[in-house]
Structure 1
Amino acid sequence: MKIGIIREGKNPPDKRVPFTPDQLKTLQDEYNGQLSFQVQSSSIRSFADEEYAEAGIEIVEDISDCEVLFGVKEVPVDQLIADKTYFFFSHTLKKQPYNRKLLQAVLEKNIRLIDYEVLKDEQGNRVVAFGRWAGIVGAYNAFWTYGKKTDLFDLKRAQECEDLLDLHSELAKVTLPPVKIVLTGSGRVGGGAKEVLHSLKIREVSAHDFLHLYYDEPVFVTLSSADYYRRKSDGGYDKREFYMNPGLYESHFHKFAEAGELMISGAYWNPEAPKLFEMNAIAADDFQLSVIADISCDVGGPIPTTISSTTISDPVFDVDRETGEKLPAFGSQTSISVMAIDNLPCELPREASQEFGKQLIKWVIPELLEENSSVLERATIARDGDLTIEFIYLTDFVNHHE
C-alpha cells in the first residue's frame, strides 16, 4: 500500500502535518514491504521537504500514484483526486454550508472519505484529535487578549514561542486581579486549557462558590452542560435525555456571565441545543464577560458573539454591546473582545503534529492493513459515490444545490 501525505491547500495555510519525518521513517522501517510513503512537496509545512528527504522519505509533486492520502484540513475541491481514500477533517458533519461543495465533490469523484473527527474506539471515544493543543493555545490566547484589553501585561504571540516549554515560560509575565474565569468543556480541549490555568496557578472552585463567594485572587470554574442547561418543563437535567433531545432544554448561563469576566469556551455543541445566551443579553448592565476565547469556534453556534472566525494573523475582534456589531479589536473598553481562531494548533505546529502522528500510528495505521476494519468503517462518511448508512442524515445537505 502506497500512502501519500498531501500538501495543505486551504487558505490561510496550515503548517501542521499528519506525520513527522521521524514517524514516517519508523513506519517505513517497521512495515517494510507492506507500506511505502510519499510526501507531496510543500513550502509551508512546519517540517521542511528536506527533513522528510533526510529521513529517507520520497518527495514528489504528483501524489496520484498513492492509494491512501492523508491531510489535515479540508482539501480544496479542485485538488481532490478521484477514486482515492482520503483522511482529513472535512467539517461537514454539522452540515456546514461552506463545505457543501466539498462533500458533493467527494461523492462525484468516488472518493472514500474517512474523517478524523469520527475515528472512535469501541466505547465511542475519539482516538485522534488536536483538541489538547487547541485548548493550550486557545487558553494562552485568552490571556494574551486579556493582557491587551486591560494593559496589565504583554505576552508574545503563541506562534512566536519556540515550543510548549517556552509558552509556559511566557505565562510567568501574567499578573491578574481577582478575576473570575469561566471554562466550558471537560474533554481534550478543556484539559489543554486547564494546563494553562494550572501553569498560572489559578485556583479552581465549584460552580456554587464561583457564583456566590468573593475572592481576593483569580479563580476559575469548569462548567458542564448540566451547570447551564435545564429542562424547560421543570428545570431538571438528565444527561442522556439532553444529548438525545437538546431541544427540550433551555440555557440559564446568564448567571455565570454576571459573575465572570473572562470566558474560555471549549465545549462541544450540538446544533439543536440552545445558545448559551442571546446577542441582546450582552447589553445588560450585569453581563460582565469582557473577553471570550471561543476555542470551539462554532460560527453562529452557542456563543453569539462569535460572529466570524479569526486568523492567527488577525486573532481578535470586538463586539459592541449595544448594537452587536463587529468592531476592530481593543477599540473600546466597554466592548467584548472575542478570540475565535479556527486553527489554533497551528501556532505550535511541530509539537501538535508529533502528538497527532502518534495517535494515527496507534489507531489508524494498523487498521489500514485489516481487511474490514470496524474503526475505519465507522469513520467513513462516503464511499463508492454514496454516503454511508451512519451519515445518511447528510443526504438533504449534499442534495441542496444553490
Structure 2
Amino acid sequence: MTHIWLRAEERESEERVGLTPEGAAALIAKGMKITVEESPARVIPLEGYIKAGCATAPFASWADAPQDAIIFGLKELPETDQPLHHRHIMFGHAYKGQPAGQRLLKRFKAGGGTLYDLEYLVDENGRRVAAFGYWAGFAGAAVSLKALIAQPNVMGPIQGYPNKDALIAELQREMTAIDLPRAIIIGALGRVGTGARDLCAALGIPVAAWDMAETASGGPFPEILDHEMFLNCILADPSVPVFVPQSAKEAPRALRVIGDIACDPSSDFSPIKVYDHVTTWGKPALRVHDAPPLDVMAIDNLPSLLPLESSEDYAAQLLPSLHGLGDLTQGVWGRAKARFDHHIAQV
C-alpha cells in the first residue's frame, strides 16, 4: 500500500499545502493510505482531512514515520545535518549549486533517502506538471507595487490575504497616493509572467511584456531602467542573460523597484546582480541604493500571500501525478528520480 505522509510546513508564514481533503479522498479510494500531520498554520483545517479518511500524526513527526512512507511537503526542511532516510516530495532547491541545497543533498546521501523535487516533476516534453507560478507572479507583482507605494520609506511587514479580491481592493486604496507606475515584465508569456500581468491589468498599470524574443540579444537592456517597476519572471539558468547589472544602482533611471519573483540570488546564474539574498515577510524589500531609492523584493514563498487559492490550484494540477505514486520508476516520478541520481552522484 502506498503511504503518503503529509507533513506540516515548519517555515514561518507558510500556510500552503499540496493536497486538499478532496484529493486525499480520491487517493484513499484508490487504495492509498494518507497520514496528515497536525499544523497550527495550514490554510485547510485538519478536520477536512479526517473526514476524508486520513490518519493524523503530531506536528513535525515525519522523521519517525514508517520507513516506507513517502514524506510530502512543499517548502524546505529544518536546516540540520540529520540524515534523511525517507523518500521526500518537496521543493528542494538543490540542483543549481545553492549552498543550502548542497547540504540537503549530503543529508540524503548520508541517509540513503531520495528527493523527488517538485520543480522537476515534468512530462515527456519537459514541461512541469504542476506549478505555483501563476500565484507567485500575481503576489510578487502585488508586493513589488507595495514597495513602490511605500517609498521613500522601506516597506514594512506583510501578511497573507483571504483571497485575491481583498488584496486588489487594498492596493486600489493605497495607489491613490502615487502616480500610476510603468512596469516591465520579463518572462511575460509564462505562468509567472501571466500572474504578474493579471495583477497589473486589474490595477490599470501599463506593462511592457517581454519574453524570449525581446531578450535574445543577450543585453544590455537599458529599457528596464526606463520603468518604475521591473518584474523578473525568468528562473536563473546558464542561458539567461543579466537583466540588471551591479552598475544599475547608480545609473540614471526611472527604476525604483525590482520584483525578483523568480528569486534565486544565491545562484551563479541570477540575472539580477544588485543583491545577494532573499527578502522576508518581515522585511519584504531590500534597499540597495538610497538616492534615488532602489528596492528589491525577493520573497521565495510568494504564493503564500494567497494561500487558499494557490493551494487549491496547485493541488488540482498535482493530483493526477500523485495517483501514479504506486510505481515510482515510471513517468514523472521516474524522471525526477533520474534527476536526483545525477546530482547525488556529484556530492
TM range (shorter): 0.7 to 0.9
TM-score of the two chains, using structure 1 as the length reference: 0.76
Gaps of 5+ in 1: 203-218, 231-249, 321-331
Query: Partner of 1:38 in structure 2?
Result: 35
DSSP 3-state at the match of 1:311: coil
Gaps of 5+ in 2: none
Is this contact kept in 2: 1:20–1:47, CA < 8 A?
Answer: yes
Render the CA deviation track for 1:119-138: whole Å, top value 9, x for unaligned. 11122111111111111110
Corresponding position: 1:305 with 2:266: no
2:304 to 328, 346, 358: 346
Give the residue type in structure 2 aligned to 1:262. Answer: M
Is this contact kept in 2: 1:312–1:347, CA < 8 A?
Answer: no
Corresponding position: 1:262 with 2:263: no
Query: Partner of 1:191 in structure 2?
Result: 194
Corresponding position: 1:221 with 2:208: yes
What percent of counterpart residues are identical? 29
CA distance in 2, matches of 1:110, 1:60: 24
Query: Partner of 1:253 in structure 2?
Result: 221
Is this contact kept in 2: 1:77–1:105, CA < 8 A?
Answer: no
Render the CA deviation track for 1:195-251: whole Å, top value 9, x for unaligned. 10121133xxxxxxxxxxxxxxxx211112432342xxxxxxxxxxxxxxxxxxx42
Query: Partner of 1:377 in structure 2?
Result: 334
Query: Partner of 2:288 in structure 1?
Result: 319
Query: Partner of 1:121 in structure 2?
Result: 123
Is this contact kept in 1: 2:156–2:284, CA < 8 A?
Answer: no
Q: How many positions carry a matched residue from both structures?
A: 334
2:260 to 269, 275, 294: 294
Query: Partner of 1:2 in structure 2?
Result: 3
Is this contact kept in 2: 1:73–1:90, CA < 8 A?
Answer: yes
Is this contact kept in 1: 2:219–2:241, CA < 8 A?
Answer: yes
Is this contact kept in 1: 2:141–2:196, CA < 8 A?
Answer: yes
CA distance in 2, matches of 1:157, 1:25: 37
Is this contact kept in 2: 1:299–1:309, CA < 8 A?
Answer: yes
Render the CA deviation track for 1:17-62: whole Å, top value 9, x for unaligned. 111233323432x31xx20110122223223334433443221134
Query: Partner of 1:135 in structure 2?
Result: 137
How large is the RMSD of aligned CA atoms in angstroms?
2.6
Is this contact kept in 2: 1:159–1:348, CA < 8 A?
Answer: no
Give the residue type in structure 1 aligned to 2:283. Answer: D
DSSP 3-state at the match of 1:267: coil
Is this contact kept in 2: 1:180–1:262, CA < 8 A?
Answer: yes
* Structure 1 residue 316: Cα displacement: 0.9
* Structure 1 residue 102: Cα displacement: 0.7
Distance change >3 Å, CA 2–CA 226, structure 1 → 2 = same
Render the CA deviation track for 1:102-127: whole Å, top value 9, x for unaligned. 11111221112111111111221111
Distance change >3 Å, CA 25–CA 299, structure 1 → 2 = same
TM-score of the two chains, using structure 2 as the length reference: 0.87
Render the CA deviation track for 1:355-385: whole Å, top value 9, x for unaligned. 11111212x1222134741221111257xxx
Q: State the structure with more CA Rg.
A: 1
CA distance in 2, matches of 1:354, 1:112: 26
